[in-house]
Structure 1
Amino acid sequence: MCEDDHGIGRRALFVTGAAAALTLGSVSFASGAPAAGQETRTVRGTLPTGSPDFVYVPVEVPSGVQELHVAYTYEKPAVPAGTPGNALDIGLFDERGTELGGKGFRGWSGGARTEFFVRADDATPGYVPGPVRPGTWHIALGPYTVAPGGLPYEITVTLTYGEQGRTPRPGYPPARAKGRGRAWYRGDCHLHSWHSDGRRTPAEIAALARAAGLDFINSSDHNTHSAHPHWADQAGDDLLIMLGEEVTTRNGHVVALGTDPGTFVDWRYRARDNRFGRYAREIRRAGGLVVPAHPHATCVGCNWKFGFGEADAIEVWNGAYTPDDEVALADWDSMLVASVRGDARSWIPAMGNSDAHRDPDPVGTPQTVVLADDLTREAVQEGIRAGRSYVAESKSVSLSFSAAGPKGEHAGIGGRLRVAGDAPVTVRLEVTGAPRCSARFVTDQGVLFTSAVLPVSGSGTVEWRTTAQYAAYVRAELRHEAALGPLPGPLAAFTNPIFLGA
């Protein structure tokens, strides 16, 4: 074993192609395989406050290596109240380099693991199997937060020499399930497995999805596509499994929803770097949707700061309903008002997902219910993009929401009722599975109608009459009883809008 001090020293650093990143001096190994079959190097250092977003530790890998194994630890001292402590993420790039775009990407576990390995025939969840070729590899450190006294770390790299195995050819879930033709399909598009910071296997998630009454899900592990081949055995006629990633930047998270199998989307940039548009277009070129996640979440780096010009939809409701979801809902509603002033075709639909990681996080709470032509990746995406959807807290809640004009004109969720400004419009909401909830109709002026509380059966029909002059759009909310006076209760469901007027 060889040990080395490896802290950030000015002479050891140079700027890489990635934004806000620095590279340390190399970790070197012997040029040939030792008799024992393994070599180990340990390096130590301290990252100061104000460290760049990414610090790369080069590892010179000789020929003949069968497996690369990395373990790391770092100190977590007590810090003053209100001050973030140490948190250090980790990942790996191979000899193809660390340039933005991810050609050399071999895996990312964030802060979920203290060790990992890669071989040709296998890898730790979060990492991609493949040949261990000679050259300069890079361990990627991400100092998520650094305590006032700095972040002391220790990294141990072990190379095992020998003949490499065969890299498995990946298989992926099909882009189509049996479906029911044009129908309402339930889905949860923000889920984490043990390939990132989740604790469930793909098999466990698929079983929970079926139990939650879901027709489709989307794989969205943080900053890695390593789970994609592991979903193939979990799909079936009854469950469409789409593939994606939660692109987890320092200025917000975005769900890449339904990308082509094996697509990796880089995350190493901030809003100030002006690079997000490039990767949003990359998601769409790979057949996916761009969905900013939990835009008003309060965790460090979670609040969305890239704007919504590239968004195909917005995750307004994330997991158990909380105050930051209420803020996201209000913010999205304000965006609807702005779209009315301009081109209503440019409005951005809303959706909801569970963001489930581990027990007891429920899968499918909430879920997005989409009107799609069939249970295929493309049809579900088109329904989401068009706003033909509503969000419900569980499979128990179902609704039908429509608007009708005086001459038989009709429009459903996400559509436009084309009537004269003064023509009478009847808005109708039919509900099941929402006991003791009340319905609210929200327009560009705000809440203009609130129903009586639904009976214990949870079923009921609510109607309201208006005009396009009075309401440029109308959307429906189902709310549980309020716990505090005039404040609205938590959502049980909400719809995308119906626009009114020619």
Structure 2
Amino acid sequence: MSFASAADGDGREDGRETRTVRGTLPPGSPDFVYVPVDVPDGVREIRVSYTYDRPPVPAGTPGNALDIGVFDERGTELGGRGFRGWSGGARSEFFLRADDATPGYLPGPVRAGTWHIALGPYTVAPQGLSYEITVTLTYGEPGEPVRPVYPPERAEGRGRAWYRGDCHLHSWHSDGRRTPAEIAALARAAGLDFINSSEHNTHAAHAHWAEAAGDDLLVLLGEEVTTRNGHVVAIGTDPGTFVDWRYRARDDRFGRSARRIRRAGGLVVPAHPHATCIGCAWKFGFGEADAVEVWNGPWTPDDEVALADWDGTLVASVRDEREDRDGRGWIPAMGGSDAHRAPDVVGLPQTVVLADGLTRQAVLDGIRAGRSYVVESGRVSLSFTASGGRGEHAGIGERLRVDRDTPVTVRLEVAGAPRCTVRLVTDQGVLHTGAPLPVSGSGVVEWRTTPSYAAYVRAEVRHETAAGPLPGAMAGFTNPVFLGRR
């Protein structure tokens, strides 16, 4: 797609020029297709709109779905040097200029050179996918560049304490419908202390969270990296960090992205690993994970599978002789709401983290260490400890260092979970199921074991189930306490 030079007024109307290109993508198209656009000097704004056909398809066959984004004259190479925005399938048009851009896109100068409209054929019908892209360039002096302002890395906090957060949220800067201000208001109403910006495949929201943060709410910055073989949430990265998503597990490129997240100070957290949507199930393995999102939104069967899968990694960690002396050869669990729009509930679930303060670094350290539990709302609180006979004591995510035959007392205190049932789970499975909690929702459960009998213990609090052998929906669960000197 070529445009006349700025010195040539032919084809312009009111300082604008428009071109349209059409094409068809067959089934089996590449994951990403790039349409080059030659942009001349003197452009103030670039505006892109697109449409595509949606023919009927046989039952059980995916129809057409086409994502879109844009890269500027710096190119489309992996790593995103030329990245200027992505809206997936959430928008049919977008614009960019120096002083403003559509949510999900980065404002900045429209420099001369070859730009690329990035198309992502998420699914293609058997008949193929026919598309039409219209690009309009507006000429003139560029607006005043925008200087990004980011939220602070600390809030007031309560010193070393348990802080509640939701690290998986979407605003209108990707495919959500809420503004950052609306999300922040809902987070405060849910009793949250921190949240994380996690838009699909763009960091454009980072500069729009400063006004929503405050002494009572820490806003971390990140991204949901949405690949064709699973999604990973980057939590708490440096402001302005972009993480590329254009690869599959077979490409052996995820390790590079994980290192990018860590270099930017963030955590690598595979999201909803057993989700059933196309491209959502996690296929990269957990070797790069700092934690795993076991609970995503309202409790569903895929969360149950994710919990069982994660528990299997705990068994593997206590079997692995290479585990370090701090017992950190395991992957902590966490949860996130993945809330996009009403009626999605911000803070369902929420991860409750023991941190030295309400700062970016302290919260990330707590999540990484597994000093956390996950609950369905701010009403539910858990306290889970293990103690030996000589004053030894360990909490969630820690190791009780006692001899293998030392008697150990495990204690769970619950509040805010009426008529729920407590289950204590070890490397052997569920070894204790208590009576339902009273209608007050508060209660204490104690259980005794030894490290030789249970290498770790974790707690679950489940709702009543109508019938059958399956456990009820989750009200809350903890990361494990490990037992023994190993």
TM-score, normalised via structure 2 length? 0.97
Aligned-partner SS, 2:311: helix
The structural deviation recorded for 1:358 is 0.2
Structure 2: distance between partners of 1:171 and 1:345: 36
- Alignment-derived partner of residue 471 in structure 2: 488
Aligned positions of 1:271-286 closer than 5 A: 271-286=249-264
Structure 1: distance between partners of 2:467 and 2:4: 68
1:45 aligns with 2:28: no
Structure 2: distance between partners of 1:346 and 1:406: 26
Aligned-partner SS, 1:281: helix
Structure 1: distance between partners of 2:248 and 2:329: 25
Q: 2:34 aligns with which of 52, 56, 80?
A: 56
- Alignment-derived partner of residue 348 in structure 1: 331
Aligned-partner SS, 2:86: strand
- Alignment-derived partner of residue 357 in structure 1: 340
1:428 aligns with 2:402: no
Amino acid at match of 1:400: S
Structure 1: distance between partners of 2:35 and 2:368: 41
Structure 1: distance between partners of 2:381 and 2:447: 19
Structure 2: distance between partners of 1:160 and 1:388: 53
Q: 1:166 aligns with which of 112, 127, 144?
A: 144
Aligned positions of 1:125-204 closer than 5 A: 125-204=103-182
After superposition, the C-alpha distances for 1:76-111 in whole angstroms (9 at most, x for unaligned) are 111101100000000000000000010100000000
- Alignment-derived partner of residue 197 in structure 2: 219
Aligned residues: 476
Structure 1: distance between partners of 2:381 and 2:227: 35
The structural deviation recorded for 1:465 is 0.6
1:110 aligns with 2:88: yes
Q: 1:260 aligns with which of 225, 238, 245?
A: 238
1:402 aligns with 2:382: no
After superposition, the C-alpha distances for 1:16-57 in whole angstroms (9 at most, x for unaligned) are xxxxxxxxxxx0011125352111111111100000000000
Structure 1: distance between partners of 2:358 and 2:466: 39
Percent identical pairs in the alignment equals 81
1:87 aligns with 2:61: no
- Alignment-derived partner of residue 334 in structure 1: 312
- Alignment-derived partner of residue 98 in structure 2: 120
Aligned positions of 1:312-461 closer than 5 A: 312-342=290-320, 343=323, 344-461=327-444
Residues 328 and 369 in structure 2, CA contact (< 8 A), matched pair in contact too: no
The structural deviation recorded for 1:345 is 2.2
Amino acid at match of 2:283: K
Between 36-45 and 85-94, the greater mean CA deviation after superposition: 36-45
The structural deviation recorded for 1:484 is 3.1
Amino acid at match of 1:475: R
Residues 406 and 450 in structure 2, CA contact (< 8 A), matched pair in contact too: yes
Residues 150 and 209 in structure 2, CA contact (< 8 A), matched pair in contact too: yes
The structural deviation recorded for 1:419 is 1.0
Structure 1: distance between partners of 2:4 and 2:144: 25
Structure 2: distance between partners of 1:378 and 1:484: 45
Structure 2: distance between partners of 1:212 and 1:289: 24
After superposition, the C-alpha distances for 1:396-417 in whole angstroms (9 at most, x for unaligned) are 0001000010111100000001
- Alignment-derived partner of residue 15 in structure 1: none
Structure 2: distance between partners of 1:262 and 1:353: 22
TM-score, normalised via structure 1 length? 0.94
Structure 1: distance between partners of 2:468 and 2:236: 42
- Alignment-derived partner of residue 5 in structure 1: none
Aligned-partner SS, 1:328: helix
- Alignment-derived partner of residue 30 in structure 1: 4
Structure 2: distance between partners of 1:335 and 1:264: 30
Q: 2:453 aligns with which of 449, 454, 470?
A: 470
Structure 2: distance between partners of 1:441 and 1:297: 26
Aligned-partner SS, 1:345: coil
The structural deviation recorded for 1:482 is 1.3
Structure 2: distance between partners of 1:31 and 1:241: 44
Aligned-partner SS, 1:396: coil
The structural deviation recorded for 1:483 is 2.6
The structural deviation recorded for 1:420 is 1.1
Structure 2: distance between partners of 1:364 and 1:223: 22
Structure 2: distance between partners of 1:148 and 1:229: 41
After superposition, the C-alpha distances for 1:127-157 in whole angstroms (9 at most, x for unaligned) are 0000000000000000000000000111101
Stretches of 4+ aligned residues off by more than 3 angstroms: none
Amino acid at match of 1:318: N
- Alignment-derived partner of residue 217 in structure 2: 239
After superposition, the C-alpha distances for 1:375-433 in whole angstroms (9 at most, x for unaligned) are 00000000000000000000000010000101111000000011111111000000100
Structure 1: distance between partners of 2:55 and 2:330: 47
Structure 2: distance between partners of 1:501 and 1:105: 50
Amino acid at match of 2:20: T
Structure 1: distance between partners of 2:331 and 2:255: 17
Structure 2: distance between partners of 1:476 and 1:339: 18
Aligned-partner SS, 2:85: strand
Unpaired segments of 5 or more residues in structure 2?
none
Structure 1: distance between partners of 2:56 and 2:341: 27
Structure 2: distance between partners of 1:357 and 1:337: 34
The structural deviation recorded for 1:485 is 1.2
